[in-house]
Structure 1
Amino acid sequence: MTISASHDTQLRMFVAVAKCHSLRAAADAVGITQPALSRHIQSLELKLGHALFRRHGRGMQLTSDGEALFRTVEPLLDALDESISHAAAHGPGWGLSLRIATVQTLIGHFIPSFSKELLRIYPQTRLSLQCDSSSHVVEMVLRGMADLGLTYSTDLSTTDLQSVALHEERLALYHCTKTDLSREALSRLSELKLILPPRHFGVRRYVERVLGCPIRPSIECDSLELSLRMASISRSIALLPEHVPEDLIASCNLKRIILADIPPRRLVAFWRVQSRKPVVLDAAIDIAMRTRPVKQ
Protein backbone atom coordinates (compact mmCIF):
# COMPACT_ATOMS: atom_id res chain seq x y z
CA MET A 1 0.00 0.00 0.00
CA THR A 2 1.33 3.45 -0.89
CA ILE A 3 0.75 6.31 1.54
CA SER A 4 0.77 9.68 -0.25
CA ALA A 5 1.42 13.07 1.31
CA SER A 6 -2.31 13.85 1.16
CA HIS A 7 -3.12 10.62 3.02
CA ASP A 8 -0.60 11.51 5.71
CA THR A 9 -2.10 14.97 6.14
CA GLN A 10 -5.68 13.68 6.27
CA LEU A 11 -4.78 11.03 8.84
CA ARG A 12 -3.04 13.63 11.02
CA MET A 13 -6.09 15.91 10.76
CA PHE A 14 -8.30 12.96 11.71
CA VAL A 15 -6.18 12.20 14.79
CA ALA A 16 -6.24 15.88 15.83
CA VAL A 17 -10.06 16.00 15.69
CA ALA A 18 -10.36 12.67 17.51
CA LYS A 19 -8.16 13.99 20.34
CA CYS A 20 -9.81 17.42 20.58
CA HIS A 21 -13.43 16.18 20.07
CA SER A 22 -14.06 19.46 18.24
CA LEU A 23 -13.38 20.87 14.78
CA ARG A 24 -12.70 24.35 16.16
CA ALA A 25 -10.23 23.17 18.81
CA ALA A 26 -8.48 20.83 16.36
CA ALA A 27 -8.22 23.60 13.74
CA ASP A 28 -6.55 25.85 16.30
CA ALA A 29 -4.18 23.02 17.32
CA VAL A 30 -2.98 22.23 13.78
CA GLY A 31 -3.00 25.84 12.55
CA ILE A 32 -5.55 25.75 9.71
CA THR A 33 -9.08 27.09 9.25
CA GLN A 34 -12.08 25.11 10.42
CA PRO A 35 -13.55 24.76 6.86
CA ALA A 36 -10.21 23.45 5.55
CA LEU A 37 -10.03 20.90 8.37
CA SER A 38 -13.61 19.83 7.68
CA ARG A 39 -12.73 19.23 4.01
CA HIS A 40 -9.83 16.97 5.02
CA ILE A 41 -12.12 14.85 7.20
CA GLN A 42 -14.82 14.62 4.52
CA SER A 43 -12.25 13.62 1.89
CA LEU A 44 -10.86 10.86 4.14
CA GLU A 45 -14.36 9.55 4.89
CA LEU A 46 -15.12 9.50 1.17
CA LYS A 47 -11.96 7.51 0.42
CA LEU A 48 -12.65 4.99 3.20
CA GLY A 49 -16.32 4.67 2.38
CA HIS A 50 -17.73 5.17 5.86
CA ALA A 51 -18.28 7.88 8.47
CA LEU A 52 -15.57 8.42 11.08
CA PHE A 53 -17.38 10.92 13.31
CA ARG A 54 -20.87 11.67 14.60
CA ARG A 55 -21.51 15.40 14.53
CA HIS A 56 -23.56 16.75 17.44
CA GLY A 57 -23.99 19.95 19.38
CA ARG A 58 -21.24 19.12 21.85
CA GLY A 59 -18.63 18.46 19.11
CA MET A 60 -17.30 15.39 17.27
CA GLN A 61 -17.59 11.80 18.50
CA LEU A 62 -15.84 8.84 16.89
CA THR A 63 -17.96 6.16 15.26
CA SER A 64 -16.98 2.51 15.74
CA ASP A 65 -15.09 2.66 12.42
CA GLY A 66 -13.45 5.90 13.53
CA GLU A 67 -12.44 4.38 16.87
CA ALA A 68 -10.84 1.39 15.12
CA LEU A 69 -8.93 3.68 12.73
CA PHE A 70 -7.75 5.92 15.59
CA ARG A 71 -6.40 2.97 17.61
CA THR A 72 -4.43 1.86 14.53
CA VAL A 73 -3.20 5.17 13.15
CA GLU A 74 -2.39 7.23 16.25
CA PRO A 75 0.49 5.00 17.55
CA LEU A 76 1.88 4.67 14.02
CA LEU A 77 2.05 8.43 13.54
CA ASP A 78 3.64 8.82 16.99
CA ALA A 79 6.27 6.22 16.11
CA LEU A 80 6.94 7.90 12.75
CA ASP A 81 7.39 11.31 14.38
CA GLU A 82 9.69 9.81 17.01
CA SER A 83 11.82 8.13 14.33
CA ILE A 84 12.14 11.39 12.38
CA SER A 85 13.15 13.28 15.52
CA HIS A 86 15.65 10.58 16.45
CA ALA A 87 17.19 10.61 12.97
CA ALA A 88 17.47 14.41 13.01
CA ALA A 89 19.13 14.33 16.42
CA HIS A 90 21.69 11.72 15.36
CA GLY A 91 22.65 13.35 12.07
CA PRO A 92 23.02 12.07 8.47
CA GLY A 93 23.41 8.35 8.03
CA TRP A 94 21.58 7.30 11.19
CA GLY A 95 20.16 3.81 10.72
CA LEU A 96 22.09 3.27 7.46
CA SER A 97 24.72 0.63 6.84
CA LEU A 98 27.11 -0.18 4.01
CA ARG A 99 29.09 -3.39 3.53
CA ILE A 100 32.19 -3.01 1.37
CA ALA A 101 34.32 -5.85 0.02
CA THR A 102 37.73 -4.85 -1.32
CA VAL A 103 40.98 -6.33 -2.52
CA GLN A 104 43.58 -5.77 0.18
CA THR A 105 45.96 -3.82 -2.07
CA LEU A 106 43.62 -0.82 -1.71
CA ILE A 107 43.83 -0.72 2.09
CA GLY A 108 46.91 1.48 2.22
CA HIS A 109 46.13 4.20 -0.31
CA PHE A 110 42.46 4.19 -1.40
CA ILE A 111 40.21 2.89 1.37
CA PRO A 112 41.27 5.43 4.07
CA SER A 113 40.54 8.47 1.87
CA PHE A 114 37.34 6.92 0.52
CA SER A 115 36.04 5.98 3.99
CA LYS A 116 36.94 9.35 5.51
CA GLU A 117 34.88 11.21 2.91
CA LEU A 118 31.92 8.81 3.19
CA LEU A 119 31.81 9.14 6.99
CA ARG A 120 32.13 12.92 6.70
CA ILE A 121 28.89 13.01 4.70
CA TYR A 122 27.12 10.20 6.60
CA PRO A 123 28.82 10.18 10.03
CA GLN A 124 26.29 7.81 11.61
CA THR A 125 26.53 5.14 8.89
CA ARG A 126 27.56 1.70 10.14
CA LEU A 127 30.45 0.74 7.87
CA SER A 128 31.67 -2.84 7.36
CA LEU A 129 34.94 -3.49 5.48
CA GLN A 130 35.98 -6.95 4.31
CA CYS A 131 39.29 -7.67 2.55
CA ASP A 132 39.85 -10.70 0.33
CA SER A 133 41.06 -11.89 -3.04
CA SER A 134 39.45 -10.40 -6.15
CA SER A 135 37.46 -13.56 -6.92
CA HIS A 136 36.07 -13.69 -3.38
CA VAL A 137 35.21 -9.97 -3.47
CA VAL A 138 33.13 -10.54 -6.60
CA GLU A 139 31.46 -13.58 -5.02
CA MET A 140 30.55 -11.64 -1.86
CA VAL A 141 28.74 -8.98 -3.88
CA LEU A 142 26.97 -11.56 -6.07
CA ARG A 143 25.74 -13.45 -2.99
CA GLY A 144 24.50 -10.31 -1.27
CA MET A 145 27.16 -10.49 1.45
CA ALA A 146 28.49 -7.05 0.44
CA ASP A 147 26.77 -4.00 -1.05
CA LEU A 148 29.78 -2.57 -2.87
CA GLY A 149 32.86 -4.26 -4.29
CA LEU A 150 36.22 -2.76 -5.21
CA THR A 151 38.54 -4.71 -7.49
CA TYR A 152 40.02 -4.55 -11.00
CA SER A 153 38.13 -4.61 -14.29
CA THR A 154 40.04 -7.71 -15.43
CA ASP A 155 38.33 -9.67 -12.62
CA LEU A 156 34.72 -8.88 -13.62
CA SER A 157 33.01 -11.21 -16.08
CA THR A 158 29.31 -11.31 -15.20
CA THR A 159 26.25 -9.39 -16.40
CA ASP A 160 24.69 -9.61 -12.92
CA LEU A 161 26.80 -6.67 -11.76
CA GLN A 162 26.89 -2.98 -12.58
CA SER A 163 30.20 -1.17 -12.40
CA VAL A 164 31.93 2.18 -12.85
CA ALA A 165 35.56 2.67 -13.83
CA LEU A 166 37.88 4.37 -11.34
CA HIS A 167 41.62 5.08 -11.66
CA GLU A 168 44.32 3.01 -13.37
CA GLU A 169 47.09 1.29 -11.45
CA ARG A 170 50.38 -0.15 -12.65
CA LEU A 171 52.32 -3.02 -11.14
CA ALA A 172 55.71 -2.61 -9.49
CA LEU A 173 58.60 -4.61 -8.09
CA TYR A 174 59.71 -4.09 -4.49
CA HIS A 175 63.22 -5.23 -3.67
CA CYS A 176 65.93 -4.74 -1.06
CA THR A 177 67.95 -1.53 -1.45
CA LYS A 178 71.13 -3.62 -1.50
CA THR A 179 69.95 -5.44 -4.63
CA ASP A 180 70.32 -3.87 -8.07
CA LEU A 181 68.01 -4.98 -10.88
CA SER A 182 69.33 -4.58 -14.41
CA ARG A 183 67.16 -3.88 -17.44
CA GLU A 184 68.05 -7.35 -18.67
CA ALA A 185 66.76 -8.89 -15.44
CA LEU A 186 63.51 -6.94 -15.72
CA SER A 187 63.01 -8.22 -19.26
CA ARG A 188 63.04 -11.78 -17.86
CA LEU A 189 60.41 -11.16 -15.22
CA SER A 190 59.19 -14.77 -15.00
CA GLU A 191 62.75 -15.92 -14.15
CA LEU A 192 63.15 -13.64 -11.13
CA LYS A 193 62.74 -14.89 -7.56
CA LEU A 194 59.30 -13.37 -7.06
CA ILE A 195 56.96 -13.09 -4.12
CA LEU A 196 53.42 -13.49 -5.45
CA PRO A 197 49.96 -14.17 -4.03
CA PRO A 198 48.23 -17.52 -4.71
CA ARG A 199 46.78 -18.05 -8.19
CA HIS A 200 43.20 -17.23 -7.20
CA PHE A 201 44.33 -13.62 -6.65
CA GLY A 202 43.71 -11.36 -9.64
CA VAL A 203 47.21 -9.86 -9.75
CA ARG A 204 48.80 -13.30 -10.13
CA ARG A 205 46.44 -14.32 -12.93
CA TYR A 206 46.89 -10.98 -14.68
CA VAL A 207 50.70 -11.14 -14.69
CA GLU A 208 50.68 -14.72 -15.99
CA ARG A 209 48.22 -13.74 -18.71
CA VAL A 210 50.36 -10.78 -19.81
CA LEU A 211 53.59 -12.81 -19.79
CA GLY A 212 51.90 -15.76 -21.49
CA CYS A 213 53.29 -18.33 -19.07
CA PRO A 214 52.73 -19.62 -15.54
CA ILE A 215 55.05 -18.29 -12.83
CA ARG A 216 56.57 -20.30 -10.02
CA PRO A 217 57.14 -17.80 -7.21
CA SER A 218 59.92 -18.38 -4.70
CA ILE A 219 57.49 -17.29 -1.98
CA GLU A 220 53.70 -17.40 -2.14
CA CYS A 221 52.01 -14.94 0.20
CA ASP A 222 48.47 -13.53 0.40
CA SER A 223 49.35 -10.51 2.59
CA LEU A 224 50.65 -7.25 1.11
CA GLU A 225 52.57 -6.21 4.23
CA LEU A 226 54.02 -9.67 4.80
CA SER A 227 55.13 -9.80 1.14
CA LEU A 228 57.09 -6.58 1.70
CA ARG A 229 58.57 -7.89 4.96
CA MET A 230 59.70 -11.05 3.21
CA ALA A 231 61.29 -9.01 0.43
CA SER A 232 63.25 -7.05 3.05
CA ILE A 233 64.79 -10.17 4.64
CA SER A 234 65.35 -12.30 1.55
CA ARG A 235 66.70 -11.95 -1.97
CA SER A 236 63.19 -12.35 -3.34
CA ILE A 237 61.24 -9.53 -5.01
CA ALA A 238 57.63 -8.67 -4.25
CA LEU A 239 55.38 -7.96 -7.24
CA LEU A 240 52.53 -5.72 -6.13
CA PRO A 241 50.48 -2.71 -7.29
CA GLU A 242 52.38 0.57 -7.48
CA HIS A 243 50.43 2.46 -4.83
CA VAL A 244 51.94 1.01 -1.66
CA PRO A 245 52.28 3.65 1.10
CA GLU A 246 55.73 5.27 1.21
CA ASP A 247 56.10 4.78 4.96
CA LEU A 248 55.59 1.04 4.58
CA ILE A 249 58.19 0.84 1.79
CA ALA A 250 60.65 2.87 3.88
CA SER A 251 60.09 0.79 7.00
CA CYS A 252 61.05 -2.33 5.02
CA ASN A 253 64.07 -0.58 3.45
CA LEU A 254 62.88 -1.37 -0.08
CA LYS A 255 63.07 0.19 -3.52
CA ARG A 256 60.17 0.36 -5.95
CA ILE A 257 60.45 -0.10 -9.71
CA ILE A 258 57.34 0.58 -11.80
CA LEU A 259 56.78 -2.07 -14.49
CA ALA A 260 56.14 0.27 -17.42
CA ASP A 261 56.04 -2.59 -19.95
CA ILE A 262 53.03 -4.23 -18.29
CA PRO A 263 49.71 -2.51 -19.13
CA PRO A 264 48.00 -0.91 -16.13
CA ARG A 265 44.85 -2.36 -14.62
CA ARG A 266 41.78 -0.25 -13.97
CA LEU A 267 40.11 -0.25 -10.60
CA VAL A 268 36.31 -0.58 -10.64
CA ALA A 269 33.52 -0.18 -8.12
CA PHE A 270 30.63 -2.60 -8.64
CA TRP A 271 27.31 -3.65 -7.15
CA ARG A 272 24.44 -6.01 -7.89
CA VAL A 273 21.90 -5.02 -10.52
CA GLN A 274 18.84 -3.73 -8.64
CA SER A 275 15.90 -1.48 -9.35
CA ARG A 276 16.76 1.02 -6.63
CA LYS A 277 20.07 1.62 -4.87
CA PRO A 278 20.16 2.79 -1.22
CA VAL A 279 21.14 6.45 -0.89
CA VAL A 280 24.34 5.62 0.99
CA LEU A 281 25.42 3.25 -1.81
CA ASP A 282 24.86 5.98 -4.40
CA ALA A 283 26.97 8.33 -2.30
CA ALA A 284 29.72 5.72 -1.91
CA ILE A 285 29.89 5.17 -5.68
CA ASP A 286 30.16 8.92 -6.29
CA ILE A 287 32.94 9.24 -3.68
CA ALA A 288 34.81 6.27 -5.14
CA MET A 289 34.76 7.95 -8.56
CA ARG A 290 36.27 11.12 -7.05
CA THR A 291 38.90 9.44 -4.86
CA ARG A 292 42.41 9.37 -6.30
CA PRO A 293 45.44 7.46 -5.02
CA VAL A 294 48.04 9.45 -3.11
CA LYS A 295 50.88 10.50 -5.40
CA GLN A 296 53.96 8.43 -4.72
Structure 2
Amino acid sequence: MSQDHQLRLFIAVARANSLRQAAEILGVTQPALSKQIRALESTLGEALFLRHGRGMQLTPGGHELFLKVEPLFNSLDTTVALATHQSSHGGTLRIATVQTLVPGFIPELSRQLLAVYPSIRLTIHCDSSANVVESVERGKSDIGFVYETAVDGLNMISEPLFEERLALYTRANCDTNSDKLLNLAALKLILPPKPYALRRIVERVLGYSVQPYIECDSLELSLRLVSICDGVTVLPDGMPRDMVEDRGLRREPLTAIQPRRLVALSRSTRGQSRTLDKALEIASSVGARSAITSG
Protein backbone atom coordinates (compact mmCIF):
# COMPACT_ATOMS: atom_id res chain seq x y z
CA MET A 1 0.00 0.00 0.00
CA SER A 2 1.33 3.47 -0.89
CA GLN A 3 2.72 5.66 1.84
CA ASP A 4 0.38 8.55 0.97
CA HIS A 5 -2.60 6.23 1.61
CA GLN A 6 -1.04 5.12 4.89
CA LEU A 7 -0.72 8.78 5.86
CA ARG A 8 -4.42 9.30 5.10
CA LEU A 9 -5.23 6.36 7.37
CA PHE A 10 -2.97 7.87 10.04
CA ILE A 11 -4.86 11.19 9.79
CA ALA A 12 -8.22 9.41 10.15
CA VAL A 13 -7.09 7.58 13.31
CA ALA A 14 -5.60 10.77 14.75
CA ARG A 15 -8.87 12.64 14.18
CA ALA A 16 -10.99 9.90 15.72
CA ASN A 17 -8.61 9.13 18.62
CA SER A 18 -9.87 5.58 18.18
CA LEU A 19 -8.85 2.73 15.90
CA ARG A 20 -12.35 1.26 16.04
CA GLN A 21 -14.15 4.51 15.16
CA ALA A 22 -11.67 5.29 12.37
CA ALA A 23 -12.16 1.81 10.91
CA GLU A 24 -15.96 2.32 10.91
CA ILE A 25 -15.63 5.69 9.18
CA LEU A 26 -13.18 4.37 6.58
CA GLY A 27 -15.14 1.17 5.96
CA VAL A 28 -12.20 -1.14 6.70
CA THR A 29 -11.59 -3.78 9.36
CA GLN A 30 -9.84 -2.78 12.55
CA PRO A 31 -7.01 -5.37 12.13
CA ALA A 32 -6.33 -4.14 8.57
CA LEU A 33 -6.17 -0.53 9.73
CA SER A 34 -3.92 -1.42 12.66
CA LYS A 35 -1.57 -3.28 10.29
CA GLN A 36 -1.20 -0.22 8.04
CA ILE A 37 -0.54 2.09 10.99
CA ARG A 38 2.16 -0.25 12.26
CA ALA A 39 3.68 -0.44 8.77
CA LEU A 40 3.85 3.36 8.65
CA GLU A 41 5.46 3.43 12.11
CA SER A 42 8.00 0.86 10.93
CA THR A 43 8.83 2.93 7.85
CA LEU A 44 9.27 6.11 9.89
CA GLY A 45 11.15 4.33 12.65
CA GLU A 46 9.04 5.65 15.52
CA ALA A 47 5.75 5.07 17.31
CA LEU A 48 2.98 7.45 16.28
CA PHE A 49 0.34 6.42 18.82
CA LEU A 50 0.11 5.35 22.43
CA ARG A 51 -2.44 2.54 22.52
CA HIS A 52 -4.63 2.20 25.61
CA GLY A 53 -8.07 0.94 26.57
CA ARG A 54 -9.74 4.28 25.86
CA GLY A 55 -8.39 4.66 22.33
CA MET A 56 -5.34 5.98 20.50
CA GLN A 57 -3.29 8.95 21.69
CA LEU A 58 -0.69 10.65 19.49
CA THR A 59 2.90 10.50 20.66
CA PRO A 60 4.90 13.75 20.44
CA GLY A 61 6.32 12.52 17.13
CA GLY A 62 2.85 11.54 15.93
CA HIS A 63 1.45 14.95 16.87
CA GLU A 64 4.25 16.68 14.97
CA LEU A 65 3.60 14.52 11.88
CA PHE A 66 -0.15 15.21 12.07
CA LEU A 67 0.41 18.98 12.17
CA LYS A 68 2.60 18.71 9.06
CA VAL A 69 0.64 16.36 6.83
CA GLU A 70 -3.03 17.12 7.63
CA PRO A 71 -2.96 20.65 6.11
CA LEU A 72 -1.20 19.28 3.02
CA PHE A 73 -3.86 16.63 2.37
CA ASN A 74 -6.64 19.16 3.10
CA SER A 75 -5.15 21.52 0.52
CA LEU A 76 -4.76 18.73 -2.03
CA ASP A 77 -8.35 17.51 -1.56
CA THR A 78 -9.71 21.04 -1.87
CA THR A 79 -7.74 21.65 -5.08
CA VAL A 80 -9.03 18.43 -6.62
CA ALA A 81 -12.62 19.21 -5.58
CA LEU A 82 -12.47 22.71 -7.06
CA ALA A 83 -10.94 21.44 -10.30
CA THR A 84 -13.98 19.21 -10.74
CA HIS A 85 -16.20 22.29 -10.99
CA GLN A 86 -14.25 24.51 -13.38
CA SER A 87 -16.87 24.03 -16.06
CA SER A 88 -20.21 25.66 -15.22
CA HIS A 89 -22.11 23.53 -17.76
CA GLY A 90 -20.76 20.05 -17.11
CA GLY A 91 -18.34 18.13 -14.97
CA THR A 92 -19.22 16.00 -11.98
CA LEU A 93 -20.98 16.77 -8.73
CA ARG A 94 -20.42 14.17 -6.03
CA ILE A 95 -23.17 14.05 -3.42
CA ALA A 96 -23.09 12.11 -0.16
CA THR A 97 -26.30 11.90 1.85
CA VAL A 98 -27.99 10.17 4.74
CA GLN A 99 -30.56 7.63 3.54
CA THR A 100 -33.58 9.37 5.05
CA LEU A 101 -33.30 12.10 2.40
CA VAL A 102 -33.37 9.65 -0.52
CA PRO A 103 -37.17 9.25 -0.98
CA GLY A 104 -38.01 12.92 -1.59
CA PHE A 105 -35.28 15.51 -1.07
CA ILE A 106 -32.47 14.01 -3.16
CA PRO A 107 -34.61 13.15 -6.25
CA GLU A 108 -36.06 16.68 -6.34
CA LEU A 109 -32.61 18.24 -5.89
CA SER A 110 -31.28 16.08 -8.73
CA ARG A 111 -34.23 16.90 -11.01
CA GLN A 112 -33.79 20.65 -10.61
CA LEU A 113 -30.00 20.53 -10.92
CA LEU A 114 -30.18 18.47 -14.12
CA ALA A 115 -32.69 20.96 -15.52
CA VAL A 116 -30.07 23.71 -15.13
CA TYR A 117 -27.01 21.62 -16.13
CA PRO A 118 -28.25 18.80 -18.44
CA SER A 119 -24.72 17.55 -19.12
CA ILE A 120 -23.59 17.33 -15.52
CA ARG A 121 -22.70 13.89 -14.19
CA LEU A 122 -24.11 13.28 -10.72
CA THR A 123 -22.80 10.64 -8.36
CA ILE A 124 -24.89 10.00 -5.24
CA HIS A 125 -23.67 7.97 -2.29
CA CYS A 126 -25.88 7.05 0.69
CA ASP A 127 -24.34 6.35 4.09
CA SER A 128 -24.41 7.17 7.79
CA SER A 129 -23.90 10.77 8.94
CA ALA A 130 -20.39 9.96 10.18
CA ASN A 131 -19.37 8.50 6.83
CA VAL A 132 -20.97 11.37 4.90
CA VAL A 133 -18.94 13.85 6.95
CA GLU A 134 -15.77 11.83 6.38
CA SER A 135 -16.44 11.68 2.65
CA VAL A 136 -16.73 15.47 2.38
CA GLU A 137 -13.81 16.04 4.75
CA ARG A 138 -11.51 13.85 2.65
CA GLY A 139 -12.61 15.39 -0.64
CA LYS A 140 -14.35 12.24 -1.89
CA SER A 141 -17.67 14.14 -2.07
CA ASP A 142 -18.29 17.77 -2.99
CA ILE A 143 -21.40 18.23 -0.87
CA GLY A 144 -22.91 16.23 1.96
CA PHE A 145 -26.38 16.27 3.49
CA VAL A 146 -26.27 15.27 7.16
CA TYR A 147 -27.72 16.00 10.57
CA GLU A 148 -26.34 19.05 12.34
CA THR A 149 -25.16 17.07 15.36
CA ALA A 150 -22.72 15.17 13.15
CA VAL A 151 -20.77 18.29 12.14
CA ASP A 152 -20.34 20.05 15.48
CA GLY A 153 -16.83 21.43 15.79
CA LEU A 154 -15.69 20.46 12.29
CA ASN A 155 -13.77 22.98 10.22
CA MET A 156 -16.10 22.83 7.23
CA ILE A 157 -18.87 25.01 5.84
CA SER A 158 -22.33 24.06 7.09
CA GLU A 159 -25.53 25.62 5.74
CA PRO A 160 -28.82 24.88 7.56
CA LEU A 161 -31.63 23.46 5.42
CA PHE A 162 -34.71 22.41 7.44
CA GLU A 163 -35.87 20.62 10.57
CA GLU A 164 -37.13 17.07 10.41
CA ARG A 165 -39.53 15.43 12.86
CA LEU A 166 -39.52 11.73 13.59
CA ALA A 167 -42.43 9.31 13.57
CA LEU A 168 -43.12 5.73 14.58
CA TYR A 169 -44.10 3.49 11.63
CA THR A 170 -46.29 0.50 12.35
CA ARG A 171 -48.80 -1.70 10.57
CA ALA A 172 -52.17 0.06 10.34
CA ASN A 173 -53.77 -2.46 12.72
CA CYS A 174 -51.00 -2.16 15.33
CA ASP A 175 -52.19 -0.55 18.60
CA THR A 176 -49.47 1.71 20.03
CA ASN A 177 -49.27 5.09 21.73
CA SER A 178 -46.07 6.67 20.51
CA ASP A 179 -46.31 9.73 22.79
CA LYS A 180 -45.49 7.48 25.73
CA LEU A 181 -41.77 6.89 25.27
CA LEU A 182 -41.84 4.06 27.80
CA ASN A 183 -43.91 2.14 25.27
CA LEU A 184 -41.22 2.71 22.65
CA ALA A 185 -38.77 0.63 24.70
CA ALA A 186 -41.24 -2.27 24.81
CA LEU A 187 -41.73 -2.40 21.03
CA LYS A 188 -39.87 -4.62 18.57
CA LEU A 189 -37.71 -1.91 17.05
CA ILE A 190 -36.22 -2.12 13.58
CA LEU A 191 -33.27 0.30 13.65
CA PRO A 192 -30.09 1.06 11.71
CA PRO A 193 -26.62 0.16 13.10
CA LYS A 194 -24.98 2.28 15.80
CA PRO A 195 -22.99 4.63 13.50
CA TYR A 196 -26.29 6.03 12.21
CA ALA A 197 -27.59 9.25 13.80
CA LEU A 198 -31.16 7.95 13.98
CA ARG A 199 -30.07 5.00 16.14
CA ARG A 200 -28.20 7.34 18.49
CA ILE A 201 -31.26 9.61 18.80
CA VAL A 202 -33.52 6.72 19.81
CA GLU A 203 -30.99 5.46 22.35
CA ARG A 204 -30.49 8.96 23.76
CA VAL A 205 -34.26 9.37 24.24
CA LEU A 206 -34.57 5.97 25.92
CA GLY A 207 -31.47 6.61 28.02
CA TYR A 208 -29.72 3.34 27.27
CA SER A 209 -28.30 1.23 24.45
CA VAL A 210 -30.88 -0.96 22.73
CA GLN A 211 -30.69 -4.31 21.03
CA PRO A 212 -33.00 -3.96 17.99
CA TYR A 213 -35.49 -6.62 17.02
CA ILE A 214 -33.93 -6.31 13.55
CA GLU A 215 -30.87 -4.20 12.68
CA CYS A 216 -31.22 -2.82 9.14
CA ASP A 217 -29.42 0.02 7.36
CA SER A 218 -31.92 0.26 4.47
CA LEU A 219 -34.87 2.65 4.82
CA GLU A 220 -36.86 0.86 2.11
CA LEU A 221 -36.26 -2.57 3.62
CA SER A 222 -37.09 -1.36 7.15
CA LEU A 223 -40.57 -0.27 6.01
CA ARG A 224 -41.01 -3.50 4.09
CA LEU A 225 -40.12 -5.51 7.21
CA VAL A 226 -42.67 -3.54 9.27
CA SER A 227 -45.35 -4.50 6.75
CA ILE A 228 -44.67 -8.24 7.09
CA CYS A 229 -43.67 -8.76 10.74
CA ASP A 230 -44.38 -7.52 14.28
CA GLY A 231 -41.60 -4.94 14.20
CA VAL A 232 -41.89 -1.14 14.12
CA THR A 233 -39.41 1.47 12.98
CA VAL A 234 -38.55 5.12 13.61
CA LEU A 235 -38.06 7.31 10.54
CA PRO A 236 -38.67 10.93 9.46
CA ASP A 237 -42.31 12.00 9.54
CA GLY A 238 -42.30 12.95 5.85
CA MET A 239 -41.93 9.54 4.22
CA PRO A 240 -43.89 9.47 0.89
CA ARG A 241 -47.43 8.07 0.90
CA ASP A 242 -46.55 5.27 -1.53
CA MET A 243 -43.99 3.96 0.98
CA VAL A 244 -46.37 4.16 3.95
CA GLU A 245 -50.16 4.31 3.60
CA ASP A 246 -50.17 2.47 0.26
CA ARG A 247 -48.40 -0.44 2.00
CA GLY A 248 -50.89 -0.63 4.83
CA LEU A 249 -48.63 1.18 7.29
CA ARG A 250 -49.37 3.97 9.73
CA ARG A 251 -47.20 6.85 10.95
CA GLU A 252 -47.52 8.25 14.47
CA PRO A 253 -45.52 11.47 15.10
CA LEU A 254 -43.10 11.21 18.02
CA THR A 255 -43.90 14.63 19.43
CA ALA A 256 -41.77 14.11 22.55
CA ILE A 257 -38.60 13.87 20.44
CA GLN A 258 -37.09 17.19 19.39
CA PRO A 259 -36.82 17.80 15.62
CA ARG A 260 -33.36 17.42 14.12
CA ARG A 261 -31.84 19.89 11.68
CA LEU A 262 -30.50 18.89 8.27
CA VAL A 263 -27.50 20.79 6.90
CA ALA A 264 -25.55 20.98 3.65
CA LEU A 265 -21.85 20.36 4.27
CA SER A 266 -19.01 21.38 1.96
CA ARG A 267 -15.39 22.49 2.01
CA SER A 268 -15.71 25.30 -0.55
CA THR A 269 -17.09 28.77 0.12
CA ARG A 270 -19.75 30.16 -2.18
CA GLY A 271 -18.41 31.79 -5.34
CA GLN A 272 -15.72 29.20 -6.08
CA SER A 273 -17.93 26.82 -8.07
CA ARG A 274 -21.10 27.71 -9.97
CA THR A 275 -22.29 24.11 -9.94
CA LEU A 276 -21.85 23.76 -6.19
CA ASP A 277 -23.44 27.16 -5.60
CA LYS A 278 -26.47 26.16 -7.67
CA ALA A 279 -26.74 22.84 -5.81
CA LEU A 280 -26.73 24.69 -2.48
CA GLU A 281 -29.31 27.18 -3.77
CA ILE A 282 -31.63 24.39 -4.91
CA ALA A 283 -31.08 22.45 -1.68
CA SER A 284 -32.14 25.47 0.36
CA SER A 285 -35.27 25.91 -1.75
CA VAL A 286 -36.23 22.23 -1.63
CA GLY A 287 -35.44 22.14 2.08
CA ALA A 288 -37.72 25.11 2.76
CA ARG A 289 -40.62 23.33 1.05
CA SER A 290 -39.83 20.13 2.97
CA ALA A 291 -40.07 22.07 6.24
CA ILE A 292 -43.50 23.44 5.28
CA THR A 293 -44.72 19.97 4.25
CA SER A 294 -43.60 18.28 7.45
CA GLY A 295 -44.57 21.13 9.76
Q: In the alignment, residue 104 of structure 1 is paired with which amino acid?
A: Q
The CA deviation string for residues 166-192 of structure 1, in whole angstroms up to 9 with x for no partner, is 110011111011211136754432222
**1:218 — aligned with what?**
213
1:204-283 equivalent positions in 2, closer than 5 A: 204-273=199-268, 277-283=272-278
Instruction: Give the direction of change, closer, same or farther, for the CA distance of 1:253–1:161 in structure 2 (3 Å limit).
Output: same
Q: In the alignment, residue 202 of structure 1 is paired with which amino acid?
A: A
TM-score by length of 1: 0.65
Q: CA deviation at 1:211?
A: 2.8
Asked whether 1:101 is paired with 2:96, we answer: yes
Matched residue of 2:174: which SS? Answer: coil
**1:176 — aligned with what?**
171
The CA deviation string for residues 222-260 of structure 1, in whole angstroms up to 9 with x for no partner, is 000100011111111011111211111134210000101
Asked whether 1:295 is paired with 2:273, we answer: no
TM-score by length of 2: 0.65
Unaligned runs of 5+ in 1: 1-91
Alpha-carbon separation, structure 2, partners of 1:273 and 1:282: 9
Q: Are the counterparts in 1 of residues 178 and 253 from structure 2 also a CA contact under 8 Å?
A: no
Alpha-carbon separation, structure 2, partners of 1:280 and 1:164: 16
Alpha-carbon separation, structure 1, partners of 2:107 and 2:179: 37
Q: In the alignment, residue 293 of structure 2 is paired with which amino acid?
A: K
Asked whether 1:142 is paired with 2:137, we answer: yes
Q: In the alignment, residue 152 of structure 1 is paired with which amino acid?
A: Y
Q: Are the counterparts in 1 of residues 169 and 226 from structure 2 also a CA contact under 8 Å?
A: yes
The CA deviation string for residues 127-151 of structure 1, in whole angstroms up to 9 with x for no partner, is 1111111111111101110000001
Q: Are the counterparts in 2 of residues 160 and 273 from structure 1 also a CA contact under 8 Å?
A: no
Q: Matched residues, percent identical?
A: 47
1:1-296 equivalent positions in 2, closer than 5 A: 93-182=88-177, 186-273=181-268, 277-291=272-286, 292-293=289-290, 295=293
Matched residue of 1:146: which SS? Answer: coil
Instruction: Give the direction of change, closer, same or farther, for the CA distance of 1:143–1:232 in structure 2 (3 Å limit).
Output: same
Tell me the C-alpha RMSD between the 2 structures. Answer: 2.0
Q: Are the counterparts in 1 of residues 172 and 249 from structure 2 also a CA contact under 8 Å?
A: yes
Structure number with bigger Rg: 1
Instruction: Give the direction of change, closer, same or farther, for the CA distance of 1:210–1:186 in structure 2 (3 Å limit).
Output: closer
Task: Count the aligned residue pairs.
Answer: 205
